[in-house]
């Protein structure tokens, strides 16, 4: 089928979307048709440099040849067979993930929220308890369990009756608050090593290791949600590696498959489900696993973890050197690797719209934070263009 490429065809897509799709997303009237590297193209042939990256998914960029090739090869062989039989890509990917994370066993699923659900169930099963401690500002997903440990009122408000009762929220970046909140019912503490959705909140050095020690002392499990921070995003393979912290349970998704839907939960030895305690029809399907293996191969061969650290440091230092941080409307510039937040004193909607008009895609999270999570393959010249556009439009 040919892509829409005239105004009336494009408008027809927008009309149908409104008629047939629940309006859970607010989106600009742009129809994306193709992408390459860190660039996207719309139905009118306009090009954009993308700093949203599929929300931290497209680490290897759009249509990386190695990922495309691996997917095409696998499609010709086997797309899906269910977990009632063995498939090689799944086992190969599990081995790879265990080596990359230092965890011991993997459970495969299809999304971030699903991996958090698996983590909460597993923690309940191995401890026999149902209390969780999560952080204010946390985001762990939208399904019932994941939403129960997600803090935002706007996400929870219509669903409070459905949510788990035993969840306590404590201030982020405060290890003592976690120690005080742990009681005899606590199964686990769940944290993002950098909070993504609430605006790229980077905790102080030593926070995660202090929480690790507290959990170990009190016999409570530590779940780290690396769904957004994984796969080189913060300049290390996983954000936990900055402090050498090992959780008991870890959740990953987003960048794992470079765009094919796949998630995973990993745990240390002895923390595991038994037959029939958990399952997922599509979990670890050969197509998604081949894509993930290819994506990890690209990250390794192209040194994307180091590249993320370098380019992230470059971006932050350029913005600082050029005085962006001292403009009146800018409250703070922060981040790690290519996960960067520019916190404003006012909503960033207009800046996002203006950037779009100038061919740069950025995303606004927590109302006032511009979040930059571009593909890790983004070119330095592309980044320079992003910097100059941001400096042109964040003027007051």
Ligand X SMILES: *Cc1c(COP(=O)(O)O)cnc(C)c1O
Instruction: Please identify every residue annotated as catalytic.
Output: 139, 225, 254
The residues with which 370 forms a beta bridge, in sequence order, are 342, 364
CA 30 vs CA 7, 26, 297: distances in Å: 11, 12, 32
Residue of closest CB approach to ligand X: 112
201 binds ligand X (CB under 6 A): no
97 phi, psi to nearest 5 deg: -65, -40
- Check residue 228 for interaction with ligand X (CB under 6 A): yes
The CB-of-119 to ligand X minimum distance in angstroms stands at 10
Question: The dihedral of CA 329, 331, 336, 341: what is its sign?
Answer: negative
Q: Rounded CA gap, 55 and 17, in Å? A: 21
113 sits near ligand X (criterion: CB under 6 A): yes
Considering only 60, 74, 87, 111, the residue that binds ligand X (CB under 6 A) is 111
196 sits near ligand X (criterion: CB under 6 A): yes
CB atoms within 10 A of CB 138: 22
Measure the CA–CA gap between 263 and 176, rounded to whole angstroms: 31
Of 182, 188, 227, 305, the residue at the interface with ligand X (CB under 6 A) is 227
Span of 200-208, 222-230, 288-296, 373-381 interacting with ligand X by CB under 6 A = 222-230
Query: Any contact of residue 375 with ligand X (CB under 6 A)?
Result: no
Residue pair 370/341 in contact (Cβ under 8 Å)? The answer is: yes
Say whether residue 280 binds ligand X (CB under 6 A): no
User: Which lies closer to ligand X via its Cβ, residue 200 or residue 330?
Assistant: 200
Q: With beta carbons less than 8 A apart as the criterion, state whether 307 and 374 touch.
A: no
Q: Kindly state the smallest distance separating residue 139's Cβ from ligand X, in Å.
A: 5
Q: Give yes or no for residue 120 binding ligand X (CB under 6 A).
A: no
Query: Are 152 and 185 a contacting pair, CB within 8 Å?
Result: no
Q: Which of 48, 62, 108, 139 binds ligand X (CB under 6 A)?
A: 139
| Binding footprint of ligand X, residue count (CB under 6 A) | 15
Q: Per this entry, what is the length of the chain?
A: 396
Per CB under 6 A, residues contacting ligand X are 111-113, 116, 139-141, 192, 196-197, 225, 227-228, 253-254
């Amino acid at each position: 089928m040919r892509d829409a490429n005239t105004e009336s065809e494009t408008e027809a897509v927008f009309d149908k979307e409104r008629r047939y799709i629940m309006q859970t997303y607010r989106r600009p009237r742009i129809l994306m048709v193709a992408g390459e590297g860190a660039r996207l193209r719309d139905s009118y042939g306009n090009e954009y440099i993308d700093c949203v990256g599929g929300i931290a998914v497209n680490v290897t960029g759009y249509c990386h040849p190695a990922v495309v090739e691996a997917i095409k090869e696998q499609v010709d062989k086997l797309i899906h067979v269910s977990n009632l039989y063995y498939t090689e890509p799944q086992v190969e990917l599990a081995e790879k993930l265990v080596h990359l994370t230092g965890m011991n066993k993997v459970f495969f699923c299809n999304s971030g929220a699903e991996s958090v659900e698996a983590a909460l169930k597993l923690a309940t099963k191995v401890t026999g308890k149902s209390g969780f401690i999560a952080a204010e500002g946390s985001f762990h997903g939208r399904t019932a369990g994941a939403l129960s440990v997600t803090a935002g009122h706007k996400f929870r408000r219509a669903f409070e009756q459905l949510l788990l009762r035993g969840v306590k929220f404590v201030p982020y970046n405060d290890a003592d608050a976690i120690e005080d909140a742990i009681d005899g019912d606590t199964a686990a503490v769940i944290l993002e090593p950098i909070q993504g959705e609430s605006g790229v909140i980077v905790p102080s050095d030593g926070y995660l290791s202090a929480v690790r020690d507290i959990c170990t002392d009190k016999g409570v499990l530590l779940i780290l949600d690396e769904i957004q921070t994984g796969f080189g995003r913060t300049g290390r393979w996983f954000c936990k590696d900055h402090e050498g912290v090992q959780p008991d349970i870890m959740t990953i998704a987003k960048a794992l498959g470079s765009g094919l839907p796949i998630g995973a939960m990993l745990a240390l030895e002895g923390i595991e489900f038994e037959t029939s305690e958990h399952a997922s029809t599509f979990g670890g399907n050969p197509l998604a696993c081949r894509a993930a293996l290819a994506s990890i191969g690209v990250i390794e061969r192209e040194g994307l973890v180091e590249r993320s650290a370098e380019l992230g440091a470059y971006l932050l230092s350029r913005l600082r050197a050029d005085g962006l941080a001292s403009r009146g409307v800018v409250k703070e510039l922060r981040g790690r690797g290519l996960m960067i937040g520019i916190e404003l004193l006012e909503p960033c909607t207009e800046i996002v719209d203006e950037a779009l008009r100038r061919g740069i895609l950025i995303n606004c999270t927590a109302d006032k934070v511009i979040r930059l999570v571009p593909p890790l393959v983004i070119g330095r010249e592309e980044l320079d263009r992003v910097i100059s556009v941001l400096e042109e439009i964040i003027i007051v």
